[in-house]
Amino acid sequence: MSNQSKAISRRKFLSQSVLTAAGLVAAGGIASCSRPEAMPAVKGRVIGANDRINIAVIGLGGRGAGIVDTFGAMKGVRIKTICDIDENIFAGYVKRVVDAQGDVPMTSYDLRRVYDDKDIDAVTISTPNHWHALATIWACQAGKHVYVEKPCCHNVYEGRKMVEAARRYNRIVQVGFQNRSIIGVRQAMKFLHDGKLGKIYMAKGLCYKPRDGIGRYPDSPVPKGVHYDIWLGPAPLRPFNQNRFKYNWHWHWDYGNGDIGNQGVHQLDVAMWGMNKNEHPVKISSSGGYYAFDSCQETPNTQTAVYEYSDGSIMQFEVRGLYTNDENGITVGNLFYGTEGWMYVNGGQWKTYLGRKNEPGPYSENAGPDADPTNLAGAGGGGHSDNFIYAVRSGKMTDLTCDIEVGNMSSALPHLANIAYRLGRTLTFDGKKEQFTGDRQASRMLTREYRKPYVVPESV
Structural domain span for residue 21: 3-179
Q: Are residues 147 and 228 in the same domain?
A: no
Question: Do 191 and 253 belong together in one domain?
Answer: yes
348 phi and psi angles, rounded to 5 deg: -95, 5
> What does the pLDDT read at residue 44?
73
Domain count, the chain: 2
Q: Is residue 377, in this structure, part of any structural domain at all?
A: no
CATH of the domain at 292: 3.30.360.10
d(CA 57, CA 124): 5
* Cβ atoms of residues 151 and 259 within 8 Å: no
Could you read off the pLDDT of 240-258 as tens digits, one per residue?
Answer: 999 999 999 999 999 999 9
Strands 53-58 and 341-346: unpaired
Same domain, 157 and 205: no
Taking residues 210-217, what's their average pLDDT? 97
Among 330-339, 356-365, 367-376, 384-393, the minimum mean pLDDT is found in: 367-376
pLDDT at 29: 39
Boundary residue ending a domain (179, 201, 235): 179
Please check whether residue 436 lies inside any domain of the structure.
Answer: yes
What would the mean pLDDT of 165-183 be, rounded to a whole number?
A: 97
Residues 348 and 217 in one domain: yes
Strand partners, 399: none
Do 193 and 159 belong to one domain? no
- Please check whether residues 105 and 184 belong to one and the same domain: no
Same domain, yes or no, for 150 and 204? Answer: no
Residue 30 lies in a domain: yes
If 0-12 CB within 10 Å is exposed, 13-18 middle and 19+ buried, where does residue 54 land?
Answer: buried
Are 293 and 440 contained in the same domain? yes
Q: Are 130 and 267 found together in one domain?
A: no
pTM: 0.90
Q: Which of these, 457, 451, 459, lies nearest to 230 by C-alpha position?
A: 451
122 assigned to some structural domain: yes
DSSP letters, 258-319, are: TGGGTTHHHHHHHHHHHTT--S--SEEEEEEE--S--SS--S-SEEEEEEE-TTS-EEEEEE
- Residues 146 and 252 placed together within one structural domain of the fold: no
Q: Is the pLDDT of residue 412 over 70?
A: yes
Within a domain: 243: yes
Domain edge (last residue) among 148, 179, 210: 179
pLDDT digits (tens, 9 = 90+) for 134-155: 999 999 999 999 999 999 999 9
Note whether 139 and 115 are within 8 A (CB): yes
252 lies in a domain? yes
Task: Return phi, psi of residue 316, to 5°.
Answer: -115, 155
Supply the pLDDT for residue 41.
67
Average pLDDT, the chain: 90
In a domain, 450, yes or no: no
- The SS3 assignment for 437 reads coil
In this prediction, residue 261 has a pLDDT band, given cuts at 50, 70 and 90, of very high
Question: In terms of domains, do 242 and 285 share one?
Answer: yes
Percent over 70 (pLDDT), the chain: 87
Same domain, 231 and 266: yes
Model pLDDT, residue 61? 85
**CATH number for 160:** 3.40.50.720
Residue 455 in domain: no
